Structure 1
Amino acid sequence: MAAQQTLFTGGAIWTGDRDTDALLIAEGTVLATGEQARERVDAGAERVDLDGGFLMPSFGDGHSHPLPGGLESVGPRVRPCRSVDEIVAAVKAFADAHPDQEWITGASYDGSLAPGGLFDARWLDAAVGDRPVVLRAWDYHTVWCNSEALRRAGITADTPDPPLGEIPHRADGSVLGTLREWGAVDLVMNVMPAHDEQTRIGALGAAADYLLSHGVTWAQDAWVTPADVLTYVAAARRDALRMRFNLALYADPRHFDQQVGDYAAARQSVIDADNPLLTANTVKFFADGVVENETGALLEPYCSGLHSHGMQTWEGDSLAEAARRVDELGLQIHIHAIGDAAVRQSLDAIEHVVDSNGARDRRPVIAHAQLVHPDDINRFTALGVIPNMQPLWAQQDALMNVLTVPRLGPERSDRQYQLRTIAQTGAALSLGSDWPVSSGAPLEGIAVGVSRQTAEGEPAGGWTPHETLDIEAALAAYSAAVAYQGFAENTWGRIVPGASADLLWLGQDPRRTPPLELPQIPVRATYLRGLPAHSSL
């Protein structure tokens, strides 16, 4: 008996590099397009009328954090809050509704709502004083704690700043309540109880539902701990993943010598789970922090001078040597680099890997690349480095105007997020969201990437408009280029015969939609291997 076929017609079908008017799939695979699709269709095939809509390869997210994103729904809903008072009220309401929950944990608040991104424990004490409260900031590099959480973590006025971390103080020397970067954040995280496995698996399901609803069928989880591997493997064994994930195992400079010996076993546990939706082919490094905390590593000092040049997470040539050891294991290198000094250090590290280990198809990734020195622009192409960038961030929103520009100054600020410049060098630009740091909806990111404007259309003509992407280039960078990043270009990312039918059906053609209207295009359906994984029909 012939496999059930499905024929899509009645709308614009974009294969990734050309238009066609028909698509035929069967058993989750693309069979034919255009006239060949019409000639090969069986009489009993299912027929889908696109109703004037737009069919394209599904999106991939080249840098995201699905598990934390899913877990945001478990705690107080602080992300929509637009003031400190709103956050405190949301925390109090949640605590009152969950009187037996020992720790109140949530994410992720807007760091621009307090001067300098510094939040006081006493503000949370007013809502909950007898139980610890820990909230992550939008950047996931910062937490805001109440006094009870600080007490349980043993943080006092005499606690020194740990390596790779900062504990801000009030003018009188007492601990403020904001903790910055891993060294400080871990002081609380190490005493905070973890969510149970069922909750964590449920969070992965919530993350998949969210991403699929925005047309995403593959996500790079860009910060995976050993506990996270266990959760993913458990979900894989239960067939609870619902979309494709690749895991990037976290590399911590404080513990790397121990971690590197565990990477092979972690990868093997994923292989043993025997689920085609899950891979673990990557290792994630942090070269620096974020500009908003003044921990992004800069070649020239911050304008305020508070942290001078920022923070390089790996000292000297340690990043280069760690990357070399990861590359020897056959794993992909994925480096968070925000500041221009961090980007340079990351490029130097990859150059060391190539020189030491020889040529191979390694596809290293530098994520974010917020600020790149002009001398380093062409090195992405020369070294075969994939710049994975977040187009949603390339706008003059409150975060940019309140926290970023004052720290970088106007000249450096206008060199941020050089998407077009880097892509024009021939680099394999891929896009991602960093969700839940920011929205995981690709159309929201693409709207900014092709306009360099806020949702309100500011500024007129766009901020640094010479860095805008063409709409088809942006769509390809969020689909085929992410598939290439994931070594999956022969599996998904384009609509060609033999490819997996991972598809996105939009209500209208984004190429003929004004940029500011792109986020309003409805996602009618997202297909994974030919089957609807999300539908709004």
Structure 2
Amino acid sequence: MGDGKGITAMQADIVFIRGTVRTGGADGPVLDALAVTDGRISALGARALDARGSGTAVVDLRGGALLPAFGDGHAHPVMGGLGLLGAPVRECASVEEIVEAVRHWADEHPEAEWITGDGFDAWVAPDGRFDAHWLDKAVPDRPVVLRTMDHHTAWVNSEALRRAGFRADTPDPDGGEIVRRTGSAEPLGTLREFAAVLPVLGLVPQPSHDTQVDALRTTAARFAASGVTWVQDAWVEPHHADVWITAATSGPGLPIRADLGFFLGPEQWRERVGRLAAERRRVEGAAPGLLTAHTVKFFADGVIESGTAALLEPYTDCPHSHGIANWTPAELANAVTAIDALGFEPHIHALGDGGVRVALDAIEAAARTNGPRDRRPVIAHAQLIHPADLPRFAELGVITNLQPLWAQPDRLMTDLILPKIGPKRGARQYQIAALLAAGAHIAFGSDWPVTDHEPLRGIATAVTRQTPEGHPEGGWLPQERIDTATALAAYSAGCAYQAFEEEKWGVLRPGMRADLVHLAADPVETAPRDLARLPVLGTWLAGRRTYDSGTTDPVPAVGR
């Protein structure tokens, strides 16, 4: 293997040996050693071996691989961490199991005024319609609110409906839906989109600041254990910034860096936009090197499975519905233009092809109004893109932040999504390869807690386009499969580019931060079906070890 040029001849703090060093990037060299000095990569290959001294810590890769650490370009660490504290409904496989989990948790927590739960599968009830009466049987006297895994639907009991004031004569809010009983105007117990969900969530007592900090620390440790060193928090309410600052500057600190994306909704954006620059300065001044805050989050639409994503043509199962657009096109363009003028990076949730088009139009309007600059706007999810809009991603410099774990025919896809959009539109979902071929920048994220936060699971799906059970043979929409090296780069260099930090991390070369992940085997030489099970043995943030698997026995071979 070849040499890597070093930036210093001094003794290294750490040298990694006896493994494969994949430096990353499109054609980065593959070497056998790496040295770290003062938190940065100081040498590669033979030069790294020469940097060992009496004070150097030597890490034996034991035949495994060292790679650039992963990023996560779209996640919800604070919200997700808090979601772990309620009734454990995430792993429930049926309505009956969910109800029993709620009953058991409520019995064990008689002091809880509200019963909450997070992350259950929307397809466990027919058409995603959940009845309040089912929960009433478990908890009739206290309010219950549970959120589906996509966070765009809530299931509530009758007491929660009563406290929120949702009755037969309550109109649907703009941008939301109070699902009604068949043949009646009475609320069923299913609430869709934030305009309908947030009036209920707003009644739930807010966890204490310390509880939120602890939840974030728990989440951050999970990310570190999966090889992640940077996260885009894609929905930051004002109080979340204080949670991040406390976690980053007190106690043990955090094992990850983060960029905070301030949420801006259509109702209050003009009032809030004037405070964003000061809030950015406060966050970045409090934890320099750990926290940035150059992003503003928008929701252009909802999600296809609940019929709330904005489509250019009607839903197949509802010929009069195009979904829900959270913003008018003109107002979204005005808001994106305003935050762009302040130097923020827009990060726009858009799943339907109508939502994607409105997001692209808003980004184009901002560039036209404010003039050229390196703005790197982000459209997250981009589940459905009209063919005419595909080249616009590259033309406008848009980063597509994709959730590769979604690109499989699981029950969410087969039971809820495909029946709503039909086979023609269904065949152009999550066009990862097509976006790359069109010259677009892509970055990967998990949208945790919506789906699993472990990058290797997403990488396996991007490469195979299969369910964990290996279905279908040859992959779902196999023309959109990508190779392992490209998928790894989307979770590292792609995220670094999204973070405006491609000169700091994302590839391994002298002078870059030593943000590293040690895997049990070389992922490029690992069978795609085994990538999801490839163990993470260690993670380093600027040369500081943030995760150690504690594995001392020989690692079992993971290969072809």
**What whole-Å deviation, never above 9, does each CA across 1:352-373 have from its counterpart, x for those lacking one?**
1111111111100011110111
Q: Tell me if structure 2 keeps the 8 A contact 1:204–1:241.
A: no
* Matching residue of 2:465: 452
* Matching residue of 2:75: 64
One-letter amino acid of the counterpart of residue 197, structure 1: H
One-letter amino acid of the counterpart of residue 533, structure 2: Q
**What whole-Å deviation, never above 9, does each CA across 1:385-436 have from its counterpart, x for those lacking one?**
1011111111001000000000010110010000001011221111111111
One-letter amino acid of the counterpart of residue 443, structure 2: S
Matching residue within 226, 246, 249 for 1:237: 249
List aligned pairs for 1:125-274, cutoff 5 A: 125-171=136-182, 172-238=184-250, 240-274=253-287
One-letter amino acid of the counterpart of residue 52, structure 1: G
Indicate how the Cα distance of structure 1 residues 21 and 307 shifts in structure 2: closer, same or farther if over 3 A, else same.
Answer: farther
How far off its partner does 1:469 sit? 0.7
* Matching residue of 1:86: 97
Matches of 2:15 and 2:162, distance apart in 1: 62
* Matching residue of 1:6: 14
* Matching residue of 2:115: 104
SS in 2 for 1:417: coil
Further displaced range: 308-317 or 283-292: 308-317
Indicate how the Cα distance of structure 1 residues 130 and 307 shifts in structure 2: closer, same or farther if over 3 A, else same.
Answer: farther
Matches of 2:54 and 2:76, distance apart in 1: 44
SS in 1 for 2:367: helix
SS in 2 for 1:245: strand
How far off its partner does 1:304 sit? 1.1
How far off its partner does 1:316 sit? 3.1
* Matching residue of 1:397: 410
Further displaced range: 159-168 or 271-280: 271-280
Matches of 1:120 and 1:210, distance apart in 2: 34
Q: Tell me if structure 1 keeps the 8 A contact 2:72–2:445.
A: yes
Matches of 2:209 and 2:51, distance apart in 1: 47
Matches of 2:222 and 2:143, distance apart in 1: 29
Show structure 1 runs of 4+ deviating over 4 A.
none
How far off its partner does 1:307 sit? 5.9
How far off its partner does 1:262 sit? 1.9
Matches of 2:437 and 2:247, distance apart in 1: 40
**What whole-Å deviation, never above 9, does each CA across 1:66-97 have from its counterpart, x for those lacking one?**
11211122111111000011111111111111
**What whole-Å deviation, never above 9, does each CA across 1:333-385 have from its counterpart, x for those lacking one?**
11111011111111111111111111111100011110111111111111111
* Matching residue of 1:119: 130
* Matching residue of 1:25: 36
Matches of 1:114 and 1:451, distance apart in 2: 29
Matches of 1:250 and 1:460, distance apart in 2: 41
1:293 aligns with 2:306: yes
1:436 aligns with 2:449: yes
Further displaced range: 39-48 or 156-165: 39-48
* Matching residue of 2:558: none
* Matching residue of 1:531: 544
Q: Tell me if structure 2 keeps the 8 A contact 1:327–1:353.
A: yes
Q: Tell me if structure 2 keeps the 8 A contact 1:8–1:24.
A: yes
TM-score (norm 2): 0.94
Structure 2: 5+ residue stretches without partners: 1-9, 551-560
* Matching residue of 2:334: 321
Q: Tell me if structure 2 keeps the 8 A contact 1:3–1:27.
A: no
TM-score (norm 1): 0.98
Matches of 1:311 and 1:72, distance apart in 2: 26
1:384 aligns with 2:392: no
One-letter amino acid of the counterpart of residue 194, structure 1: Q
How far off its partner does 1:306 sit? 6.1
Q: Tell me if structure 2 keeps the 8 A contact 1:121–1:178.
A: yes
SS in 2 for 1:271: helix
How far off its partner does 1:105 sit? 1.1
1:331 aligns with 2:344: yes
How far off its partner does 1:238 sit? 1.4
Matches of 2:449 and 2:205, distance apart in 1: 21
One-letter amino acid of the counterpart of residue 234, structure 1: T
SS in 1 for 2:348: strand
One-letter amino acid of the counterpart of residue 334, structure 1: H
Q: Tell me if structure 2 keeps the 8 A contact 1:295–1:307.
A: no
One-letter amino acid of the counterpart of residue 293, structure 1: S
Matching residue within 504, 508, 517 for 2:530: 517
Matches of 1:82 and 1:12, distance apart in 2: 41
Matching residue within 499, 503, 509 for 1:496: 509
How far off its partner does 1:149 sit? 1.1
How far off its partner does 1:43 sit? 3.6
How far off its partner does 1:181 sit? 0.6
Further displaced range: 146-155 or 306-315: 306-315
* Matching residue of 1:45: 56
How far off its partner does 1:474 sit? 0.4
How far off its partner does 1:274 sit? 3.0
How far off its partner does 1:275 sit? 3.8
One-letter amino acid of the counterpart of residue 325, structure 1: A
SS in 2 for 1:56: strand
Matches of 2:89 and 2:320, distance apart in 1: 29
Q: Tell me if structure 2 keeps the 8 A contact 1:248–1:281.
A: yes
Matches of 1:351 and 1:255, distance apart in 2: 23
Matches of 1:526 and 1:328, distance apart in 2: 37
Matches of 1:387 and 1:496, distance apart in 2: 26
How far off its partner does 1:518 sit? 0.9
**What whole-Å deviation, never above 9, does each CA across 1:164-205 have from its counterpart, x for those lacking one?**
111011123321111111111111022221111111001101
SS in 1 for 2:485: helix
One-letter amino acid of the counterpart of residue 375, structure 1: A
Matches of 1:84 and 1:96, distance apart in 2: 18
SS in 1 for 2:84: helix
SS in 2 for 1:204: helix
* Matching residue of 2:427: 414
SS in 2 for 1:260: helix
Structure 1: 5+ residue stretches without partners: none
SS in 2 for 1:162: coil
One-letter amino acid of the counterpart of residue 409, structure 1: G
- Aligned residues with identical type, % of pairs: 51
Q: Tell me if structure 2 keeps the 8 A contact 1:108–1:137.
A: yes
Matched residues, number: 536
How far off its partner does 1:131 sit? 1.0
Matches of 1:379 and 1:272, distance apart in 2: 36
Matches of 1:64 and 1:271, distance apart in 2: 19
How far off its partner does 1:148 sit? 1.0
Q: Tell me if structure 1 keeps the 8 A contact 2:259–2:293.
A: yes
SS in 2 for 1:177: strand
Matches of 1:73 and 1:455, distance apart in 2: 24
* Matching residue of 2:520: 507
SS in 1 for 2:274: coil
1:278 aligns with 2:291: yes
One-letter amino acid of the counterpart of residue 184, structure 1: A
Q: Tell me if structure 1 keeps the 8 A contact 2:11–2:56.
A: no
Matches of 1:8 and 1:408, distance apart in 2: 50
Q: Tell me if structure 2 keeps the 8 A contact 1:233–1:269.
A: no
